[in-house]
Amino acid sequence: IWIFHGFYAEEDLVGNLAIMSTSERIKAIQKMPETMKKKREIRNKVLKEITKKSGHHSTQFSGCTQCLQGAVVSFRRFGNTLSEYFHLLRFWHKTLKIIGAEFGTSVLSYFIFLKWLLTFNIFSFLINFSFITVPQFVAAEPNNLSFTGLELFTGAGYFQQTVLYYGFYTNATITKIENGPSYNMQLAYIFTVGIYFVICFLILLFSMAKSFCRNFLSPQTYSGNASKLLCTWDFNIINEKAVKLKQKNLSTQIKEDLTEVNQEVLNFSVSERVVRIVIHLVSWIASLGTAVAACAGVYFLSINNLKLFVKGHKNDLESQAAMLVLPIVASLLNAFIPFFYSWLGHLEKFQTPGHHVYVTITRNIVLKISIVGILCYYWLNIVSASESQCWETLVGQDIYRLVLVDFIFCLLGSFFGEFLRRIIGTTVCVSLGLPEFDIGRNVLDLIYAQTLTWIGILFSPLLPGIQMISFSIVFYVKKVSLMMNCQPPRKVWRTAQMTTSFMFLLFFPSFIGVLSVIGVTVWRLKPSEECGPFRGLPSMYAAVSKWIKILENYTASEWVVWIYHNLITSVLFFFVLSVLALIITYLYWQIIEGRKTMTKLLRKQIIN
């Protein structure tokens, strides 16, 4: 009887909902104390009921009205089904929840950042493949070089005559049909890369602003633990595993907040302060000296690397292996020096884990950006002036090898740095215990890899596709290594602002530095005479100037010429933009200071 009663009650509910307007029906379903799965079932039944009623009353409507109503209902059902599938396709959503519950928001911030970079590279690959690589397939000539397998590691040989590198792309206007529409490869190449970097700039600014507002300016950040404890539980969760995961997640967040509130301020004597200052100074001198020595080694090694190419290398095993010396040495420096920086951080004995992580990140970013800067100087001033037939392809090959070897070292770092450390800490030296996940080192590895990818886009348009695959593998390897080998941080601490800091480091100095490198390449350097889409031109940008001169002869294109002369090439326009950016930055900092003052007052009132 109870089952039949529930069945008829649900039928009445569906009938009542079918009578309501669309907005009223949505609100009514949202307010039901049911699970999301049950709500979706009720919604689908209501839509079927509406479709049946429209069929029964078809004689009251004209044919056009009936078709329109049916199309609207079908479109709505299709939209609802599509949104459900998109919800299911939110890859790694459950994994991120488990990581946040087990290891806290500090470790979670790394995986969120990695996922964000992966989506970034997917977008980059789709843009370059659609507008640069696909048109080149139409005009591509057959590749006469043989594939040996070593090219996967060196990027040379067979890959030189493929769409992977700049030198393979044509400078001709591609026409598939005679007297049909044409495709200017020069303009496509430079505009695709240019517009891509503009979109990246806007996405980075928007992401930083969104993360900044959420973590620094949102009133929820200052609402204390009472609302988190009493008002954040989702009563639609009925699955036992989901309930336990949610409980653990909330528990970890509250512990982080309480640790920050109850943080003790240590009082040191004068002699202790002097000792701490001396230790900090010696650590900084040691870290900066190590970075300078690493850069010098990379520079002299790169000079020897160029001599190998100028003399003309053979495709034997020895010459192929010699190409990998520079990326292996650079990756070794990037892999082992951060361990030295972590040891310095432990020696300095910071009061909070947050200070330790930020100092370690700062030292690592100085090291990695310095190495990238030395390599860029080598590429733009030495390789570009060399006797090579296609210096752009040489730069692309160097970056390909750097990206590949860095990926291999990242995987090896998870094995030797975390797996073997766990074996040693649990069997040989039990006092060491399980290792903690090194957030600073792993985040800087991602920023370094993404910086290389951005620089390489101009010389190897498909490099984001390679980075997309490597980031996907890194995510799974790091997740497994974290779950099997690492322990949660010994000191729980809140790091809501960490993701904002990661994005800022990706923007500056990484992205801004890449824009400088691309700007010098496009405006100042002379392209190779025998390869690439800009062969025979004084600079890559000359293709745009040449196109604008052609447009000046057409009255329909006057607006394009006006934008070019009055905005793109106008110093005043960019000066005004810079002033506006400075004013907005100043206002943001004023808001931050006001929020901090408000927070202190609220905390005093809560304590009182």
Residue 76 to residue 518: CA distance in whole angstroms: 46
Q: Which two tokens stand for residue 453?
A: 């990818």
Q: What does the pLDDT read at residue 496?
A: 55
pLDDT at 582: 79
Question: Is there a contact between 539 and 521 (Cβ–Cβ < 8 Å)?
Answer: no
Tokens found for residue 280: 């900090």
Distance between CA atoms of 540 and 534, rounded to whole angstroms? 6
Global model pTM greater than 0.85: no
Question: How does DSSP classify residue 567?
Answer: I
What are the structure tokens assigned to 347, written together?
A: 């020696």
Residue length of the chain: 608
Distance CA 503, CA 116 (A): 10
Residue segments in the chain with a per-residue pLDDT below the cut of 70: 1-9, 53-91, 177, 179-180, 215-239, 241-243, 245-250, 252-268, 308-320, 351, 353-354, 490-497, 588-589, 591-608
Whole-number Å distance between alpha carbons of 404 and 466? 9
Alpha helices in 438-462 (DSSP H): 439-456
Residue type, 213: C
> 3-class SS at 57?
coil
CA distances, 63 to each of 15, 50, 68, 280, 420 (Å): 25, 17, 9, 82, 73
Give the pLDDT of residue 492: 53
Nearest to 49 by CA among 20, 79, 78: 20
State pLDDT tens for residues 571-587: 787 788 888 877 877 77
Burial of 73 (0-12, 13-18, 19+ CB in 10 A): middle
User: What is residue 125's predicted lDDT score, i.e. its pLDDT?
Assistant: 94
Tell me the CA distances in angstroms from 414 to 346, 444, 478, 501, one per residue in order: 21, 15, 7, 24
Phi, psi (5° rounding) for residue 409?
-70, -30
CA dist., res. 442 & res. 445, Å (int): 5
Given this model, what pLDDT does residue 21 score?
74
What distance separates the 2 farthest-apart alpha carbons in the chain?
Answer: 95
Q: What is the pLDDT of residues 492-520, one digit of tens each?
A: 555 556 777 788 888 888 999 999 999 99
Alpha-carbon dihedral of residues 332, 336, 338, 339, nearest 10 degrees? 160
Phi, psi dihedrals of residue 423, rounded to the nearest 5°: -60, -45
Q: Which residues pair with 183 in a beta bridge?
A: 174
Nearest one of 54, 5, 1, 49 to 25, comparing CA atoms: 49
